[in-house]
Amino acid sequence: MQCAKFERTIEAGIEPLIEVMEQLEAFCSAAGVPEPVTVQLNLVLEELATNAIKYGYGAGEQGQIGVCLTLNGGRASLTVTDDGNEFDPTVAPSPDIHSKLEERAIGGLGILLVMRMMDSVCYQRRDGTNVVAVSKTFAPLQ
Do the beta carbons of residue 57 and residue 84 sit within 8 Å?
Answer: yes
Number of structural domains, the chain? 1
Q: pTM for the complete prediction? A: 0.86
Question: Is 72 among the domain residues?
Answer: yes
**Parent domain of 108:** 4-137
Report residue 28: phi and psi, to 5°: -65, -40
pLDDT by residue (tens digit) across 74-109?
A: 999 999 999 999 999 888 766 555 556 555 455 555
Question: Is 48 among the domain residues?
Answer: yes
Q: What is the pLDDT of residue 135?
A: 97
Do the beta carbons of residue 104 and residue 96 sit within 8 Å?
Answer: yes
* Spatial separation of the C-alpha atoms in residues 21 and 90, rounded to whole Å: 23
CATH number of the domain that 81 lies in? Answer: 3.30.565.10
pLDDT by residue (tens digit) across 50-68?
A: 999 998 998 888 999 999 9
- Alpha-carbon distances of 135 from 67, 69, 115, 125, rounded to whole Å: 13, 9, 10, 18
Question: Is 17 among the domain residues?
Answer: yes
Lowest mean per-residue pLDDT among 104-108, 113-117, 133-137? 104-108
Question: Is 142 among the domain residues?
Answer: no
